Amino acid sequence: MIRLAAWLALAAALGGCVMQDTKPLPKIEAVQAVQEIPAEQRIDVAVRSFDPGIPAALAADEEALAKKRIYPEMRKAEARYFAVQLRNTLEGSAQWGAVRVAPENVQFVDLSVTGRIIESTGKRLELEITARDAAGRVWIDARHYESLADIGSYKTDAALRARDPFQNVFSNIANDLLAARAKLDATALRELRQVTELEFGADLAPEALTGYLRQDASVKPALTRVARLPADNDPVAQRVQRIRERDTAVIDTLDGYYTGFSEQMQQSYGEFRRTSYEEVEKQDQALASARTRTILGVAAVAAAILAPSSCSGNTSCNLESAARYGGSAGGVAAFLSGLKKYADARTHAQAFGELASSFQAEVGAQVVEVEGRSLKLTGSAEEQYREWRQLLREYQAEEASPKNGGP
């Protein structure tokens, strides 16, 4: 009887547990520049559109993805949105040169930042970030950044517009990049920018601009370094520099599309995350309650059935039998209640999925003009830039031909 009463008392105590209210998180800000950075040390940054983080093994299984709170269309939109959020954070710190969101096939940039979404709900965000520079240094190696949502951003529409609920994640990434940059002196930063320019030239005009870079195997991993620089009046180098300026303008245009996309989705996505935060909270509470009810229900039934008998007379035995029956019946009721709570959790997950699947976004076509030439770029950002690079190579070939005064 004493052991049975203890089981039931424990069940009652645990069944009454409630989740703690979440408090607003301390705000982390990106470290701001306190003085102007010399032009030759301003590292340009390309933030790639993130990997949506959809497991290949589950890509065709919507139910399995939903169980992990992964909704492909939403993830694809978030992959662009998070890249813009990181770009905005880096740009706002005034610590860098040009910071752009760029397609993966934009290869020649001082510092490239890639990311993968590990988890993304209105309640929690986890990203995996890697950063590598043009010389081959790894600044951040598949590091995970995570945070719960700052619920202060969900309080009002104005608060949601003013600060992303996961700004702490992006600020931490920006500060780690800054710490990595601090390990390089002014000479290394200047050489890094030169490496980027020479790699671009060697790709565009390999017949004329090879041999200016070398591999330094004395360090691990090996680094690309400047072997020599072309003469200031080198006509091929001058032409490549003009082409690179046009290339930069196209990347700026693509960056503008990412920015426009992010701005268009900001309000609806903010509302979605605020709603999904509530849905995930309800789901987590329902699952926690379901586990408690189910486990304690089974425990109560087991306690009622397996508790050793200690009766010594008909009256005490009858009382104990009644207690056993009551504990068993109560345990079954708790178990069934737990199953009901699991059903509620599935309902909340379904609501979350319906919200996610309602969001659609695509990069639009653009028309690029270069010295009187027009080219319509269509498809994804990667496809558009691929078309553009092909145009640049054709243009360089024409410029370099003997009939146009080329070498």
Inter-CA distances, 228 with 194, 199, 219, Å = 10, 13, 20
Share of the chain above pLDDT 90, in %: 38
pTM for the full model?
A: 0.76
Give the CA-trace dihedral at 147, 148, 152, 154, to 10 degrees.
120
Q: What is the mean pLDDT of residues 319-324?
A: 44
Tell me whether residue 295 is exposed, middle or buried, using C-beta atoms within 10 angstroms of its C-beta: 0 to 12, 13 to 18, 19 or more. Answer: middle
SS3 152: helix
Q: What is the pLDDT of residue 369?
A: 65
Inter-CA distances, 66 with 6, 59, 74, 168, Å = 40, 11, 12, 27
Whether 119 has a pLDDT exceeding 70, the answer reads: yes
Whether 14 has a pLDDT exceeding 60, the answer reads: no
Q: What is the pLDDT of residue 4?
A: 45
Q: What is the pLDDT of residue 86?
A: 98
132 touches 138 (CB < 8 A): yes
Which of these, 136, 134, 118, lies nearest to 126 by C-alpha position? 118
Q: What is the mean pLDDT of residues 248-270?
A: 83
Q: Which of 143-152, 281-290, 379-388 has the highest mean pLDDT?
A: 143-152
Phi and psi, residue 45, nearest 5°: -125, 135
Banded model confidence at residue 322, pLDDT cuts 50, 70, 90: very low
Q: What is the mean pLDDT of residues 33-53?
A: 94
Token duo for residue 388: 């553009």
Token duo for residue 68: 């992990």
Per-residue model confidence as pLDDT tens digits over 154-190: 999 899 989 999 999 999 999 999 999 999 999 999 9
Q: What is the mean pLDDT of residues 148-158?
A: 92
Token duo for residue 2: 């004493």
Q: What is the pLDDT of residue 289?
A: 64
Q: What is the pLDDT of residue 403?
A: 57
Q: What is the pLDDT of residue 66?
A: 80
Cβ neighbors of 72 (< 8 A, separation 6 or more) are 52, 54, 59, 65
Domain positions in the chain are 32-267
- Residue for token pair 């390999």: 206
Amino acid symbol at 124: R
Amino acid symbol at 152: G
Q: What is the pLDDT of residue 378?
A: 72
The answer to which of 151-165, 197-211, 222-236, 372-386 has the lowest mean pLDDT is: 372-386
Q: What is the pLDDT of residue 391?
A: 78
Q: What is the pLDDT of residue 18?
A: 41
* Beta-ladder partners of 223: 216
Whether 388 has a pLDDT exceeding 50, the answer reads: yes
**Measured distance CA(396)–CA(240) in Å, rounded:** 8
Per-residue model confidence as pLDDT tens digits over 82-113: 999 999 999 999 999 999 999 888 989 999 99
**Measured distance CA(395)–CA(386) in Å, rounded:** 14
Q: What is the DSSP letter of 41?
A: G
Token duo for residue 170: 């992006």
Q: Which residue has the higher pLDDT, 102 or 280?
A: 102
Whether 381 has a pLDDT exceeding 80, the answer reads: no
Q: What is the pLDDT of residue 15?
A: 44
The answer to which of 210-219, 233-242, 296-305, 355-364 has the lowest mean pLDDT is: 355-364
Q: What is the pLDDT of residue 356?
A: 45
Per-residue model confidence as pLDDT tens digits over 325-363: 444 455 555 545 555 544 554 554 455 445 444 444 445
SS3 401: coil
How many CB atoms neighbour CB 341 within 10 A?
19
CA atoms within 13 A on the CB side of 173: 30
